[in-house]
């Protein structure tokens, strides 16, 4: 049993890494597993959430594109809506120490409280390992993984690549659309879009 | 002196743990220049001003106005296609009745590395010009006020949003052509350097090959350098290196296909910048889709 699981894990990792090496992740392919710590020192893996939809949201609180979705309350609304429907929502911070958006666990926990943010957890990724594994380019950059571990969405949060809060009302939100379709048993109509925002502040 | 209102938004600075950084509205100093009664607004890490090429206007005769950005060293704003991140400046004109503003013209940008991404934009100084068309008759109007609300994003490692409300008052002088303003030469220089349509003699083709596009351009002369700036966001990988292979009659440029490429693509649209620095607007048909109809270049059509 252990052997089978180990093999499966190794294959998942290999497949994930091969996919990354060959080409960016393709929707429909297996999402690479990861291990990351949240702001309460709890370790999360993707594999332990099999059976649930998982959203990954790349975050930098000082990026004007991220601010658009937090100051307006749009991101918090999405987090509340989808986590209440059983979706696991990970906010990921890949800013390296000294770079914009880098947060200690305490700083991030205060921010979550003050912004009334409601992700399942915030994963701290100062090494950028998780960001590079998924090819996260911008903040925000959104990924959705199906209960069977397949990547079903990779792209922007919506179709208005601006910093203007007023655009949220008329934007088409790709993440909500994809989750609504997937939860209704339908095919995701837009599985890929262009992520927009600030560059992820990885270590140089 | 004319009143002006300028303001910019900047996120709060400092790293106090756990403190929510409120957006601070910072009143920016307004500068007035004597000539043309132009207003300039100081934004984060640079200034923007509304300028015109002439000192007075008359009915029915169009003139050039523009947004002149001066940026601190290392900071940049964006081209119409910002590349992997960012957003181009936007202007909303408020003009007197009967006036019409044309679109902003975008000078040739440069590639700007932003972590692992590549953006397209401008550093130091740039003028984004637009033509303004006054109405056929201005009646007894003695002066007009042009107003522009500009929103832009300025970046260097980090990005800051900014906004300025600019205005400029110009006298109306009947039957007299407006005298060149102090900005005339900047307008002339900018117009001369704007991207041009590719010469009709050029022959362009794109061959998809694996993860690459091979853009072949026959200019009739050997070309040593070329950079492609895509106008469509999802056709080529912005951050990928572009390799130039010179030939006696032009060059071939290797472009990496975008991960987000809508398949298959019919043509590549963008700017091609040669060693001289001059940009040319091209629409190059991609091989699988080439047909008589798709060849936009008349000489190419004849050649087939």
- Chain A contact for B292 (CB, 8 A cutoff): no
B115, B120, B156, B257: best to mutate for the A interface, most A CBs within 10 A = B115
Q: Which of B21, B87, B117 sits opposite A199 (nearest CB)?
A: B117
Q: B196-303 is classed in which CATH architecture?
A: Sandwich (2.60)
Q: Which of A71, A104, A106 sits opposite B23 (nearest CB)?
A: A71
Report the pLDDT value the prediction gives residue A27, as an integer from 0 to 100: 81
Identify the bridge partners of residue A88 per DSSP, sorted by sequence position.
A54
List, for chain B, all residue ranges whose pLDDT scores fall below the cut of 50: 1-36, 290-304
**The pLDDT of residue A165 is above 60:** yes
Give chain B's radius of gyration (CA, Å).
22
* CA A58 – CA A140 distance, rounded (Å): 5
Class at the top of the CATH hierarchy for domain A2-199: alpha beta
Q: Domain extents for chain B?
A: 7-193, 196-303
Predicted structure pTM score: 0.81
Report the pLDDT value the prediction gives residue B34, as an integer from 0 to 100: 37
Report the pLDDT value the prediction gives residue A38, as an integer from 0 to 100: 98
Report the pLDDT value the prediction gives residue B41, as an integer from 0 to 100: 87
Q: Which of B87, B159, B260 sits opposite A162 (nearest CB)?
A: B87
Q: Which chain B residue is nearest to residue A160, measuring alpha carbons?
A: B87
Here the tokens at position B77 are 């704003």
Please report residues of A whose CB lies closer than 8 A to that of B21: 61-62
* CA A25 – CA A18 distance, rounded (Å): 10
Class at the top of the CATH hierarchy for domain B7-193: mainly beta
Report the pLDDT value the prediction gives residue A8, as an integer from 0 to 100: 46
Equal CATH topology for B7-193 and B196-303: yes
Please report residues of B whose CB lies closer than 8 A to that of A66: none
HSE-CB at B147 with a 13 A cutoff on CA atoms is 12
Phi and psi for B57 in degrees, rounded to 5?
-130, 165
How far off is chain A from B262, nearest CA to CA, in Å? 10
* CA B91 – CA B105 distance, rounded (Å): 12
Identify the bridge partners of residue B142 per DSSP, sorted by sequence position.
none
Residue with tokens 């408020």: B94
Phi and psi for A3 in degrees, rounded to 5?
-60, -45
The residue ranges of DSSP E strands in B179-278, in sequence order, are: 196-197, 203-209, 212-218, 226-230, 243-247, 250-256, 267-274
**A1-42 pLDDT tens trace:** 444 444 444 444 444 333 333 345 788 899 999 999 999 999
Residues 100-129 of B with CB under 8 A from A: 114-117
**B183-209 pLDDT tens trace:** 999 999 999 999 999 999 999 999 999
**A173-188 pLDDT tens trace:** 999 999 999 999 999 9
Reading across the β-sheet that carries B279-285, which strands appear in turn?
B196-197, B279-285, B267-274, B226-230
Report the pLDDT value the prediction gives residue B260, as an integer from 0 to 100: 79
Residues B159, A194: C-beta atoms closer than 8 Å: no
How far off is chain B from A130, nearest CA to CA, in Å? 15
Q: Which chain B residue is nearest to residue A23, measuring alpha carbons?
A: B259
B253-258 long-range Cβ contacts below 8 angstroms, 24+ apart: B253/B214, B253/B215, B253/B216, B253/B217, B253/B226, B253/B228, B254/B212, B254/B213, B254/B214, B254/B215, B255/B212, B255/B213, B255/B214, B255/B215, B255/B228, B256/B211, B256/B212, B256/B213, B257/B208, B257/B211, B257/B212, B257/B213, B258/B234
Q: Domain extents for chain A?
A: 2-199
C-alpha distances (whole Å) from A51 to each of A46, A54, A87 are: 11, 9, 10
């Amino acid at each position: 049993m252990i052997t089978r699981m180990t093999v499966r894990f190794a294959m998942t990792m290999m497949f994930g890494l091969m996919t990354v090496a060959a080409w960016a992740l393709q929707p429909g392919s297996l999402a690479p597993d990861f291990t990351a710590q949240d702001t309460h020192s709890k370790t999360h893996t993707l594999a332990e959430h099999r059976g649930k939809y998982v959203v990954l949201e790349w975050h930098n609180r000082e990026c004007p594109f991220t601010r658009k979705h937090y100051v307006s309350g749009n991101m918090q609304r999405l987090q509340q809506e989808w986590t209440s429907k059983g979706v696991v929502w990970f906010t990921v911070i890949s800013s390296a120490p000294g770079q914009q958006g880098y947060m200690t666990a305490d700083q991030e926990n205060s921010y979550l409280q003050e912004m009334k943010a409601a992700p399942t957890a915030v994963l701290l990724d100062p090494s950028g390992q998780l960001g590079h594994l998924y090819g996260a380019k911008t903040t925000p950059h959104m990924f959705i993984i199906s209960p069977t571990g397949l990547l079903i969405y990779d792209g922007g949060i919506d179709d208005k690549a601006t910093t203007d809060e007023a655009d949220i009302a008329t934007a088409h939100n790709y993440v909500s659309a994809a989750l609504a379709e997937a939860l209704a048993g339908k095919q995701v109509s837009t599985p890929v879009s262009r992520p927009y925002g600030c560059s992820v502040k990885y270590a140089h | 002196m004319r009143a002006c209102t300028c303001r910019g938004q900047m996120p709060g600075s400092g790293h106090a743990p756990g403190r929510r950084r409120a957006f601070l509205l910072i009143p920016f100093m307004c500068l007035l220049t004597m000539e043309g009664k132009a207003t300039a607004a100081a934004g984060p890490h640079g200034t923007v001003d509304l300028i015109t090429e002439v000192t007075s206007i008359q009915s029915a005769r169009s003139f050039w106005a523009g947004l002149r950005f001066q940026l601190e060293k290392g900071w940049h704003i964006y081209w119409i296609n910002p590349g992997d991140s960012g957003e181009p400046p936007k202007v909303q004109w408020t003009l007197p009745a009967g006036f019409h503003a044309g679109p902003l013209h975008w000078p040739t940008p440069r590639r700007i590395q932003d972590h692992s991404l590549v953006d397209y934009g401008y550093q130091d100084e740039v003028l984004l010009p637009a033509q303004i068309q006054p109405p056929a008759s201005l009646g007894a109007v003695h002066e007009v006020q042009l107003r522009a609300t500009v929103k832009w994003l300025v970046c260097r490692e980090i990005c800051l949003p900014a906004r300025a409300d600019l205005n400029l008052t110009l006298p109306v002088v009947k039957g007299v052509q407006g005298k060149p303003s102090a900005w005339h030469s900047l307008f002339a220089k900018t117009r001369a350097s704007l991207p041009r349509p590719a010469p009709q003699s050029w022959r362009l083709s794109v061959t998809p090959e694996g993860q690459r596009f091979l853009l072949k351009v026959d200019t009739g002369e050997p070309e040593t350098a070329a950079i492609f700036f895509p106008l469509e966001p999802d056709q080529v990988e912005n951050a990928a290196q572009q390799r130039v292979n010179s030939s006696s009659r032009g060059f071939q440029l290797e472009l990496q296909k975008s991960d987000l490429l809508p398949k298959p693509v019919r043509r590549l649209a963008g700017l091609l910048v040669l060693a001289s620095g001059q940009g040319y607007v091209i629409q190059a048909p991609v091989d699988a889709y080439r047909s008589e109809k798709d060849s936009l270049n008349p000489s190419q059509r004849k050649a087939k």
